[in-house]
Amino acid sequence: MAGVNNGQQLRVYNSLGRRMEDFAPSADIVGMYSCGPTVYSFQHLGNMRPYVFADTLRRALRWKGIAHRQVVNITDVGHAVADSDTGEDKLELAAARERRSVEEIANFYTKDYLEALTALNVLPADVYPRASEYVPQMIEFAARLEAKGYTYVLPSGLYFDTSKSPGYGTLALLDIEGQREGARVEHVEGRRNKSDFALWRAEEPGVRRVMRWDSPWGWGAPGWHLECSVMSMSLLGDHFDIHTGGIDHRELHHVNEIAQSEAFLADGKPWVRYWLHNEFVLLDSQKIAKSAGHTLRLADLVAAGYHPMAYRLFLLGGHYRSQLDFTHAAVDGTQATLRRLVTRVAALRPLPAVETLADALALVPDDDDVTTDYVAQLDAAISADLATPRILAILQESLRDAALTQAGERVVVAAADALLGLGLDRLEAREVEGRRSVSDLDASEVETIERLVAARTQARKEKNWPRADEIRTELDTLGVQVTDTPTGPSWELR
Ligand SMILES: [Zn+2]
């Protein structure tokens, strides 16, 4: 748009090609599809990261004045246990376990999921389609693939023949010969290639599914991968710009989505141009997952006295492509950081309404270069593949900067929060109580802090300022205050 300053070029890390790229929208309204939850249980803490990450991306688009439309699917059918092609449906298993209908299960856990999104201040998606409402379209989609010769039928269903998909597995950097020897490969009688996957899962003889549809391949249910291709194209058009999800999807689910979608469209164009994936949250250095027996969820944190925004701040304190180690000490730290932040910011309220860079720049007082510079720094940080740790560091620095006027501070805080979404315009300090002292830390927490402090000292010695900043933010997140003295750094909890 002429006359509007949208700042630096937004750059993102595209998993397709594994490189940083300029984000160049292909449409007036950018289509964005984010793989959503399978609603058979509560979402654990790690499950929520993809949505906070996608929310950050949306805030970046909004900041740049890029209109967009986001779809987040609700998987209420088709997702078999262990992400496999055969076996029981996750929803049906949960219904049997909880003695409720599949609809009740889906509705209950969908509601819980949406409430967690609200608590985390995630901007609502434009549409939350349910897979069960798109089964006729999925059958049509699979029939077209069959007509084009991409499939074959086994007693267990209709399979996509991945050997007929040129470039299969590019996203995952798969080597087509040696691929898929991993644990997730199950044995399917008659499957031609290990990577082939079910488009339609037929009922086993004598086993009647609860959720079942008639199809050219018999009664059964759609394969899990199919729904995302069908719902995204139905709601965003054949091609769209952005697809997001957790890093585990990069290796299988998204690979299969691409294969079937490009076979379906057959127009020689990449189906989706930008694939963005967030890393995991680790609990005790393991992926927080149901299979590991951990089910810690946002409601547990809230019951333990933490504010959901403390968890959001914990997530934003790491770059979305870095693994995060979840510990209670870490969230204690972010809760303390948040409390200090809110206490400091409360004096500046009411904050001006800022959503975009243009909004922020329009509010900068005349000739106030200090404020302009901070806003430019925020823009540079979000433009550099959504560097939220850097944004937090800039925000903290601005609040200590005597050269910034109060009017300028208001603009900087409102601008930073347009990107962070912490609710700094309304959060009250009393909502984020809680305090720890060094004596509450256990040996491993102390060890972690000392390791980080040493790494920061080393980074400073090497004049690696970005790294030192990153560690500083991490220490901030843990609630650790480092003071540099002539004899070396010392630290304390704030
Ligand atoms: Zn998906």
Q: What is the pLDDT of residues 189-248, one digit of tens each?
A: 889 998 999 999 998 888 888 889 999 999 999 998 999 999 999 999 999 999 999 999
Residue with tokens 């699917």: 73
CA distances from 192 to 160, 169, 189, 195, 196 (A): 10, 16, 9, 9, 7
d(CA 339, CA 344): 8
What's the average model confidence in pLDDT over 473-483? 74
- pTM (predicted TM-score): 0.84
CA distances from 228 to 83, 258, 359 (A): 14, 10, 35
Expressed in angstroms and rounded, the spacing between residue 165 Cα and the centre of ligand 1 is 19
User: Among 5-19, 142-156, 358-372, 438-452, which is the least confidently predicted range?
Assistant: 438-452
Expressed in angstroms and rounded, the spacing between residue 232 Cα and the centre of ligand 1 is 9
**Number of helices and strands (H, E) in the chain?**
15, 15
d(CA 150, CA 148): 6
Expressed in angstroms and rounded, the spacing between residue 451 Cα and the centre of ligand 1 is 38
Residue 402 has a pLDDT of 96
Expressed in angstroms and rounded, the spacing between residue 256 Cα and the centre of ligand 1 is 10
d(CA 116, CA 119): 5
Expressed in angstroms and rounded, the spacing between residue 248 Cα and the centre of ligand 1 is 11
Picking from 319, 409, 329, 419, the residue whose alpha carbon sits closest to that of residue 364 is 409
Q: What is the pLDDT of residues 60-74, one digit of tens each?
A: 999 999 999 999 999
Q: What letter does residue 185 receive in the DSSP assignment?
A: P
Residue 466 has a pLDDT of 87
d(CA 271, CA 416): 34
What's the average model confidence in pLDDT over 256-275? 96
The neighbouring-strand residues paired with 72 are 34
Expressed in angstroms and rounded, the spacing between residue 62 Cα and the centre of ligand 1 is 24
Residue with tokens 């509560």: 42
